[in-house]
Structure 1
Amino acid sequence: MVQHIKRRRFIAATGAAGLATIAGCIGEDAEDDDSGNGDENGDDDELTEDEFEDAEPDEGGEVIVWHAGGTGGTYFPLSGEFKSIVEANSPHGLQVQSTGASVANVGSLEREEADFALIQNDIAYFAYNGTGIEEFEDASVENLRGVATLYPETIHIITQADSGIETVEDLEGATVNTGDLGSGTQVNALQILESAGIEDFDEENTDFATATDQIRDGDIDASFIVGGAPVGAVEELATTEDISLVEVSGDLREQIKADAEWLADDTVAGGTYEGVDDDVETVSVQAMIATHEGVDEGIVEEVTEAIFENTGDLTIESEAISADSAQDGMPIDLHPGAAAYFG
């Protein structure tokens, strides 16, 4: 889908997209993403998508529905690691499902179609407070509850190395993939483009794996991808194509943070992606685990304890995920089960 969007329509377009995603089938966008993310950690034994959805609790345990994100990002494989940890350290079984990510996941929690989900902290704030983007204006998601923050989600702006795009301002008139409709990535992308004063551009909306295919094929000029670095889809692209990361720095970065105070300074270290040798300044949000108030307090405490007592078993974002930092940047009220664990 290609849309020609003027600056004043950015936030309104985001709202309409989010409503469409929330009203539709949660997994629809993710079903188109068959890229997997196994090479993110060099592990050939990672679970398949079908195996992620299998959940066989022990006696006395429950099947817990966990909504992740598209398979080309970080949410899905990380959720698979959470599944392994929770099933090894509690009686419960996790049914991990790929989805359109943050905004869609808020919708599934609001409707109690999921028990837990991964979302961005800015989207959690918007939803809980009924503000920020159109679908949440005066329609707060009152049953949304926090569990823990996890790691910085780095905002990548990817382009081909020979595209001539060196700054965000160079995206004027370009064809840009801003992420899945209704996703947190789309929200962040539109915020950054608006702060940069981009007047118009052609917008594409797909999952990360499709977006990197579009970069490879020359069908788009740039793509926003949000996730803990390294993101598997970007790693894969960088092994076959010469890519560049567009820097978000200087006065523009300060303006972006002033316009969207939930964003923070971040840097993609040189060498994170093949061929990108220098540090690239950018911004980030926080990934977090959310739930809803209807989930049993004991289950939330057991799941939270299983994860944060066994973070040493993680291979994805393992240096960032810790009980010590799990309330940093938490924008909403905690579920009582999480509060019981963290004290």
Structure 2
Amino acid sequence: MAREIQRRTVIRTIGAAGTVALVGTAQAQDDDDEEIDEEPEPEEDGQILVWDAGGTGGTYYPLSGEFKTIVEEHTPHGLQVQSTGASVENVGSLAREEADFALIQNDINFFAYNGTGLEEFEDMPIETLRGVGSLYPETIHVVVEEGAGYESVEDLDGAAINTGDLGSGTQVNALQILESAGVEDFDEQNTDFATAADQLRDGDIDAAFIVGGWPVGAVEELATTADIDILEIGDELREELIEDVEFFAEDEIPADTYDGIDEDVETVSVQAMITTHEAVDEAIVEEVTAAIFDNTDDLSIKEEFIDVESSQDGMSIPLHPGAEAYFEEHEDVDLDDEDEPDDDEDPDDDDGEDDE
């Protein structure tokens, strides 16, 4: 059934039926994977800092293990890395001050800070959340069959589109992009990525939104068995999205990432990011931030993305003063205070979008 999208209300139309799906597109669970069992060993003047990661089979957990090594080598503090259900669960831990740091997608941070977007956060803003730095992109793919006649997202009016699991972060991303592109009437389908790929291969849908760090397995597999194209989110639409929605950032899928895609594809992404809360000591946050971003060469996971220059891409909540003190010393970091949410500002009074 075709549906019509109303600007600035798209996020509020989505319930929490698929909340589990937006815990993180890269946060697969696998209880058999090895857990980080090293006990934190702070120096005499250091503290044990609790760091919430994600499932042991996803990206957040092993990356947090590398952060633990770096922080313990370059600061007096010890990191206690905890396996969790990732973004949504981690917001709760920070809100209760049970954790000092956590990895959380920037759209989930935005929802929680502004008290919107998800039923769990609706009208209950968690204004104590503070940003540290963005890490790597979860890239938005708009996949279509090659030769189907779609040249841009704007061409999808009237199409059958899989926007991701119902209530998921992918669905939120997709509806925001379609709204901004002026695509008002379409037949919406809601499934996981693998099923969406099957639907596209079988001709049951015209387009699928798939979100994840490239290469995404579902898209890789589809590209080996079918001729596909990935639609660009072009300059004008991309600029509008980034201006209106705090958690989107510019991104690009490089040529040859997928079979048959021989040119770079301009798009947008949400970001995995380090988050803390306002009660964590400013000096500690500055020390941890410096340790990580001064030593990104020691990383082996997503190391091609994590650096000082991109550390504020898609920053969706106010920076912690400790992180701000560190980044102010770097001329290649753009700290745009005017774009940060104000602690006393009602997000519904803003002219921007209510959402991720």
Query: How high is the TM-score relative to the length of structure 1?
Result: 0.70
- Letter matched to residue 102 of structure 2: F
Higher helix share: 1
Q: SS of the residue aligned with 1:8?
A: coil
Measured at CA, do residues 184 and 294 of structure 1 come closer, stay the same or move farther in structure 2, by a change above 3 Å? farther
Q: Number of matched residues?
A: 316
Measured at CA, do residues 335 and 97 of structure 1 come closer, stay the same or move farther in structure 2, by a change above 3 Å? same
Bigger shift: 60-69 or 163-172? 60-69
Cα offset for 1:13?
5.8
Counterpart in the other structure of 2:82 = 95
The correspondence for 1:247, drawn from 207, 232, 236, is 232
Measured at CA, do residues 266 and 117 of structure 1 come closer, stay the same or move farther in structure 2, by a change above 3 Å? closer
Percent sequence identity is: 54
Counterpart in the other structure of 2:128 = 143
Q: Which has the larger radius of gyration?
A: 2
Q: SS of the residue aligned with 1:159?
A: strand
Cα offset for 1:338?
3.7
Bigger shift: 210-219 or 270-279? 210-219
The correspondence for 1:51, drawn from 33, 39, 46, is 33
Counting only pairs closer than 5 Å after superposition, residues 114-133 of structure 1 correspond to structure 2 as 115-120=101-106, 123-125=108-110, 127-130=112-115, 133=117
Query: How high is the TM-score relative to the length of structure 2?
Result: 0.68
Measured at CA, do residues 194 and 299 of structure 1 come closer, stay the same or move farther in structure 2, by a change above 3 Å? same
The correspondence for 1:178, drawn from 160, 163, 176, is 163
Q: How big is the alpha-carbon RMSD for the aligned residues of Structure 1 and Structure 2?
A: 4.2
The correspondence for 1:193, drawn from 178, 202, 212, is 178
1:14 aligns with 2:1: no
Preserved contact between residue 296 and residue 303 of structure 2 (Cα < 8 Å): yes
Preserved contact between residue 242 and residue 248 of structure 2 (Cα < 8 Å): yes
Preserved contact between residue 54 and residue 60 of structure 2 (Cα < 8 Å): no
- Once the two structures are superposed, residues 276-314 of structure 1 have per-residue CA deviations (whole angstroms, 9 ceiling, x without a partner) of 012223334444222334557677566545533432233
Cα offset for 1:267?
3.3
Measured at CA, do residues 281 and 308 of structure 1 come closer, stay the same or move farther in structure 2, by a change above 3 Å? closer
Preserved contact between residue 249 and residue 313 of structure 2 (Cα < 8 Å): no
Counterpart in the other structure of 1:65 = 52
- Letter matched to residue 117 of structure 1: L
Preserved contact between residue 154 and residue 182 of structure 2 (Cα < 8 Å): yes
Structure 1's unaligned 5+ residue stretches are 23-27, 37-46
Counting only pairs closer than 5 Å after superposition, residues 286-325 of structure 1 correspond to structure 2 as 286-293=271-278, 304-325=289-310
Cα offset for 1:245?
0.1
- Letter matched to residue 247 of structure 1: E
In structure 1, how many angstroms separate the alpha carbons of the residues matched to 2:242 and 2:102?
Answer: 29
Q: SS of the residue aligned with 1:332?
A: coil
- Once the two structures are superposed, residues 191-215 of structure 1 have per-residue CA deviations (whole angstroms, 9 ceiling, x without a partner) of 1111222233333444445544544
Structure 2's unaligned 5+ residue stretches are 43-47, 73-77, 329-356
Counterpart in the other structure of 1:225 = 210
Preserved contact between residue 228 and residue 317 of structure 1 (Cα < 8 Å): no
Cα offset for 1:190?
0.8
- Letter matched to residue 52 of structure 2: V
